[in-house]
Structure formats: structure tokens, C-alpha cells
Structure 1
Amino acid sequence: MVLGWRRRKNNKSKGGKPNIELVIPNHFRCPISLDMMKDPVTLSTGITYDRESVERWFDEGNITCPVTNQVVRNFDMIPNHSLRMMIQDWCVENRQHGVERIPTPRIPISPMEVAELLLQVKASARGLDQNGCLELVQKLERWGGESERNKRIIVDNGAPGALASAFDAFANDSVERNVLVLDEVLSALNWMFPLQLEAQKSLGSLASLRCMVWFLKHQDLSGKEKSIVALKELLSFGDEKHVEALSKIEGVNELLVKFINKRSSPTITKASLRVVWYLVSSSSEKKMKVAFVELGLVPCLLDILIDSEKSLCEKALAILDSLCECEQGREKAYGNDLTIPLLVKKILRVSPLTTDYSVSALWKLCKFGENDDEGRALVEALQVGAFQKLLLVLQVGCGDETKDKATELLKLLNPYRAELECIDSDFKNLKRSY
């Protein structure tokens, strides 16, 4: 019996006779996927599989041949060119039945080839050979574009470290003079995240950071996206030295606020919000918080909360909650009529995370402001339905910290309830965020 799918054209041919079903020969099928093989390779056990299927089998931790169940001690995969050509010929013969000829697969790169190319990259970087390094990086990117397997081999054999080192070398020399190779290296690094320690050190050098900030100022949209994503990934490792070094580069805070306010692309906006979060959460957080408040970040964040999807809302609320820890941040929040209604609106409306941040920010505004501000915030919160929302938060369940803050907020709000009618705002002038 022949396994697999069958392909039928129409019920009848032109002469009125029924068409014969097209059956894929059994030996053209991969024993793992049962699909026709596109890149047949033979293991040391003598069994042929489709390369993609057998690689996935081994990547999942298996060490045996799926058919023979023998332990595989030599993982070399020998391309079965004869079988591949037979499959291609069969596809051509049956093209009238809608069968497409499989393309001749590219030969996968080997770890040795990657290692040799990376040695050349390092040598060209040491000699500041921009053109030579540019060609090598482009070749590396072409390899990576051919298959996910090639990308894994490139990353696993030290490409992120070599490229980050080259980026640092050319940035130290001159950004303007080496902008082409720097842009190409950064483009390649963007699909190699997360970076290993060696690459983090090179990409986190002062010269590299200044180069990426220069890209944010002078490059086109694509260049800006690559740079801000690289900064976000670098800071995500939590190295305070990188955060502190970036914060000292002139103009970086203004750029980040500009990107958040302008929202030129989702990639830039999300990455900028993440970078700001890392900056305001650093050891010098109070100083950074005040700096961003003075640059007008609070109204930018509130504007995002009016009409944004879940991910943006979560990031914006995380930063707003952090800014409300300082007096200057609370002052700006009190001065904006949207603050309290938006915070109450986001409770139980977008995600558990936005609820946590909204309750936390509301708690800070109602507890730590001046007497007049506290009272005004409590009154406004009651008027837009905060009391009912907070009761629901406790009923549906939340984390211990949010539970404690919601409970304290209810105690703070309770004395004002006798004088005020609690109404649920329909927020007619605000767009839904989901």
C-alpha cells in the first residue's frame, strides 16, 4: 500500500474518461513527515530523510535514527543527489497534474566556513578595512537569509561577538567615515539577539553607544529602527554600566521622548518606551525620572493611553507609574485632566499588567501628593467610578501588592463617598484602547 496524499485533477478528462489519481512514489517521501522530500540527505545508518525534518528531530534532543532506532554516532548528513534528481524529474513529468518542480537546494554552510569568515571579519576590522569588512558581512547575511539552519550555525559559532567587536572598532575610528559598514553590521546583529557576554561588552562600549545614538539622529527610518532595537536588547541584560553610559550621551533623552511622541513606527515607539523604562529604573532613577518629566514625557504617555494597543499601553503605564514616584512626575500628572480618568479606565480593561500599573499609579497620586492634590485626585477618582473598579479588582483576584494598594485606596476614597455620587464614566471623548 502506498502512503501519502493523492492529487486528482477533474472527475473526467476531455475524452470523458476519469483521470487516474496521481500517487507520490513511496521512496520519495520522508519517513518522518511523510511529505515529498525537497532536500534528501542520508545518515550514517543508511536511511534517507528530508534535511529539515531530520534536523528538527535531532534538535529536539533525539540521538537515534527514526527508522532503525540505532544510536547515531556520526551526525553528518550526506546529500542524496541521485534521489533528489529523480524527484525533480518526476515533478517535471507530472507538471500537467499541478506538481511543481522542487528547486535544487543550496548546500548548507559548515561551522568551519563560518569560523573562517569571522576570522577575516576580525582582521578587516583591526585594519579598519571598511570595504573588505562590508563584503564579508554581506556574505554572512546572504548565508543567513538562505535558511534558519544557517542562521543557527552563524550565531552558534561566534558571529555576534565578532560583529559587535567590528562595530566597536569602526565606531571608535569614525562614525561618519565608516557609516556604511556600521549600518551593515548593525543590520546583521539585529537577527542575532540575544547577545552573549562578549558581544554585550563590545556593543555597550561608549563608542558603540554614541554611534547608535548618531544613527538615531541622522539615519533613515530603517537605520533608526535597527539602532533603537539594538539599544533595547543591550539594556535588557540589566548592566547598570550600559544604562549609565547611555544616559550621559548628550541628547539621547530628548530623542527618546521625540520618538515616543511622534510614533513614526511601531518598532521605534515600542523600543523607545522600553529603553526609557530601563533608564528610569536605573540606580540614578530619581535624576532620570525628573529629566524625562521636564522633557514633557507625562503628556506623551497619556496620549498613548488614549488610543493604543495592549503592548503600548502596558509599556506606557509602566513608565507613568514609575514617574509618579517623584514629586515632579505627580505634579505633571495632577495638571493633566486626562490622568485620573485614563488610569481608572485602564483598570480591568486591557490586561492584568495594565491593571497593576494603573492601580499603583492611582495609589501614588492619591497618597503622596500635597493635601489639595490628594483630595482633588480622590474626588475625581470617585467621580469616574474608581470605587467600583477597585472593588472588582479585589473580587476577580490580583497580586498581593496590587491587592494591598487597592485596599488602601478604598479606605482613602471611602470618606468622600457620602458627599459624592459615584458614577461610571462612559469616556465619550476617549477612544477605546483595544
Structure 2
Amino acid sequence: MDTWAAGSGSTSFSDESGRLREYRRVEPVYDAFVCPLTKTVMQDPVTLENGQTYERSAIERWFLECSANGRPPVCPMTQKELESTYSKPSIALRNTILEWTARNEAARLDNAKIYLTSEAPHDILDGLNDIQSLCLKNNINKLKARTSGLIPLIVDCLKREEKVRCSALATLRVLADDEDDNKEAIGETDAIRNCVKSLFRENLKEREEAVSLLQELSKSSHLCDKIVAINGAILMLVKTASSHSDNVITVQKADQILDNLESCDKSVHQMAENGRLHPLLRRLVE
């Protein structure tokens, strides 16, 4: 009987099989969840007198159009006239959709965690994009991303290739936005050091993402000290803030970071050494 030779790749096959078994199933979109008018999953389903269910805002717009066109209200699906435009909230369906959404979002975050440990850049990018999408949707997913240990894995992606680094920086920024606990969790990793490294890179997109993340992190006074402590951070931020070639928004963000860093005495002297004198002059006047 044939056997796998040592080093023939059986380990990678086994690892891949194990990885596939670890993926959590994401449930499909059920037809009953989709509004016939918007063709998207309903958030506030309501049912008409004939039993047809629609997204509230969509059916209300439909009835307004009927009225504007001088027509009696009709059901969009059956085109039959209705006695009333009254719609009853479908609470049971709404709760079912919410539960389905929560299960799927939890599964997607778990799957993203597996994607981030892949060696394939496209897998990592898929994972990062899904995390961004979920965390932009609501803050609960930002909390879940932190408590499930995703932040250190995302930070590890800052050591990967250019496209992955850009996506990882953007993902960390989304996680940090208006979330102090996430900022602190990011600050406990090598994220700031790697972020400053990105300021030195040639890729404009990567530098822009690095500045955006640092701007968000610099809103924490505790993390300001960590930013200032990284060699070259002030130098590159001053250079970016005074740049005539970088994106205007990026220049403004760099300027805002430096304003935030002024609370740290060490930063004021470093800024002066690199040509940004007004913070030091303000202190001397005061």
C-alpha cells in the first residue's frame, strides 16, 4: 500500500483539513427575511392585511407613491387593492432575523480569526475585510473582536506584505474608533511601533492609513506617551504635517496628532528639534 513519504506535504494537507473543519457555518439568507421591495434583509418587518410582509420604510414609500399618483393603495406583490394601509409589526420575524444575524456575525468573526492565521495573503485580506465590515456595522462586534483575541492577530499582519499591511492598519483604525478599551488593547501590542514604520514606507496609501490610525490612538493621553517614545515618530509626523505632496486630509490628521502629543513634554522638544517651533514658543510665553 502506498504511503506518504516524509516531507511530501502531508502535514500541510492535514493542517488545511483541520482548518476547514474549524470553520463555523454561516447560515444562508432565508427568503422570508428578504423584503420583496428592497431585496435586502429586513430590519423592521411589517405585515399588511393580506399577510404580505415588507420592510416598513419601503412599504410606506410605496403607499406614498400610490397616493401621489392618485391610485388606491395596492399590495406590491399581488397588485390587489387594500382596504387599509395599516401594517402590523412582525415582532416574531424581527427577533428571528436578529438572532440569525447575531449567529452569523459571530461565526464570521470566528472564521476571520482562522483566515488571519493563513499563509495566503488573499485569505488574510478576506478576514480583515470581514472584520472591518462587521465592526463598522455596530460597536458590539468591536467588543467581540477584542474579547475574542483578534487584535493581536491583526497587529501581526502589520509585518506582512504591503497590501495586507494597509488593510490591517485600516482594520485597527475601525476597531479603535470611539472605543477606548480597543485603543488600549491595540496600545499593548507592537501596533504603534509598526505603525511608525509604515510612516517611513514609500507607499502613499500605507502612510495615509498609518496616520489615520495614529490620529485615533493619539486621542488617548496614555498612548500619546507611547507614540512619542518611538524613534522617528515625531520626525515623520512633522514632515507629513508640513508636506505639500501628501493628501490634504492626511496632512491635517498629522497636524492633529502633533497637537494631541503636545501634552507630553518630551514631544514638544522633539517637535522643536524637527522644525515645529510653535508648541515650544507657546510654552515659553505661558
TM-score for both structures, normalised by structure 1:
0.42
State the distance in 2 between where 1:68 and 1:137 align.
43
The answer to whether the Cα contact below 8 Å between 1:160 and 1:195 also exists between their aligned partners in 2 is: no
State the distance in 1 between where 2:176 and 2:260 align.
18
- C-alpha offsets along residues 344-376 of structure 1, whole Å, 9 cap, x if unaligned? xxxxxxxxxxxxxxxxxxxx4xxx6xxxxxxxx
Whether 1:185 and 2:168 are equivalent positions in the alignment is yes
1:75–1:135: structure 2 CA closer, same or farther, 3 Å change rule? same
State the distance in 1 between where 2:159 and 2:128 align.
19
**Offset at 1:224?**
1.1
Alignment match of 2:226 (pick from 228, 245, 267): 245
Whether 1:269 and 2:226 are equivalent positions in the alignment is no
Tell me the residue number matched to 1:278: 260
Whether 1:225 and 2:202 are equivalent positions in the alignment is no
The answer to whether the Cα contact below 8 Å between 1:202 and 1:208 also exists between their aligned partners in 2 is: no
Tell me the residue number matched to 2:19: none
Secondary structure, counterpart of 2:177 in structure 1:
coil
1:169–1:190: structure 2 CA closer, same or farther, 3 Å change rule? closer
Q: Which runs of 5+ in 1 are unaligned?
A: 1-35, 55-66, 80-108, 145-149, 299-319, 328-363, 369-434
Whether 1:43 and 2:31 are equivalent positions in the alignment is no
Q: Which runs of 5+ in 2 are unaligned?
A: 1-35, 60-84
State the distance in 2 between where 1:226 and 1:163 align.
24
Letter in 1 for 2:283: C
Tell me the residue number matched to 2:190: 207
- C-alpha offsets along residues 263-306 of structure 1, whole Å, 9 cap, x if unaligned? 41112111111111111123xx3x321221121113xxxxxxxx
State the distance in 2 between where 1:195 and 1:72 align.
33
State the distance in 2 between where 1:140 and 1:187 align.
10
Letter in 2 for 1:122: K
**Offset at 1:232?**
0.8
Tell me the residue number matched to 1:74: 92
State the distance in 2 between where 1:217 and 1:324 align.
28
The answer to whether the Cα contact below 8 Å between 1:138 and 1:184 also exists between their aligned partners in 2 is: yes
The answer to whether the Cα contact below 8 Å between 2:199 and 2:211 also exists between their aligned partners in 1 is: yes
**Offset at 1:198?**
4.2
State the distance in 2 between where 1:176 and 1:254 align.
22
Alignment match of 2:267 (pick from 284, 288, 291): 288
1:408-427 matched pairs, under 5 angstroms: none
The answer to whether the Cα contact below 8 Å between 1:235 and 1:275 also exists between their aligned partners in 2 is: yes
**Offset at 1:135?**
2.6
Whether 1:169 and 2:160 are equivalent positions in the alignment is no
Secondary structure, counterpart of 1:297 in structure 2:
coil
1:119-198 matched pairs, under 5 angstroms: 119-125=110-116, 127=117, 129=119, 131=121, 132-139=123-130, 144=133, 153=137, 155-158=139-142, 161-162=145-146, 166=150, 168-169=152-153, 171-172=155-156, 175-177=158-160, 179-191=162-174, 194-198=177-181
The answer to whether the Cα contact below 8 Å between 1:160 and 1:199 also exists between their aligned partners in 2 is: no
Tell me the residue number matched to 1:373: none
Tell me the residue number matched to 2:3: none
Tell me the residue number matched to 2:4: none
1:92-131 matched pairs, under 5 angstroms: 110-125=101-116, 127=117, 129=119, 131=121
Secondary structure, counterpart of 1:218 in structure 2:
coil
State the distance in 2 between where 1:164 and 1:274 align.
32
Q: Percent identity?
A: 15
1:246–1:201: structure 2 CA closer, same or farther, 3 Å change rule? same
State the distance in 1 between where 2:165 and 2:211 align.
14
The answer to whether the Cα contact below 8 Å between 1:44 and 1:74 also exists between their aligned partners in 2 is: no
1:78–1:326: structure 2 CA closer, same or farther, 3 Å change rule? closer
Letter in 2 for 1:43: V
Letter in 2 for 1:136: G
**Offset at 1:140?**
5.1
Q: Which has the larger radius of gyration?
A: 1
1:111–1:230: structure 2 CA closer, same or farther, 3 Å change rule? same
State the distance in 2 between where 1:51 and 1:70 align.
9
Secondary structure, counterpart of 1:250 in structure 2:
coil
Whether 1:326 and 2:283 are equivalent positions in the alignment is yes
State the distance in 1 between where 2:175 and 2:154 align.
19
State the distance in 1 between where 2:193 and 2:115 align.
22
State the distance in 2 between where 1:155 and 1:260 align.
31
**Offset at 1:258?**
0.5
The answer to whether the Cα contact below 8 Å between 1:122 and 1:166 also exists between their aligned partners in 2 is: yes
TM-score for both structures, normalised by structure 2:
0.61
Higher relative contact order, structure no. (Cα contacts within 8 Å, ≥ 6 residues apart)? 2
The answer to whether the Cα contact below 8 Å between 1:122 and 1:162 also exists between their aligned partners in 2 is: no
The answer to whether the Cα contact below 8 Å between 1:134 and 1:184 also exists between their aligned partners in 2 is: yes
State the distance in 2 between where 1:38 and 1:291 align.
55
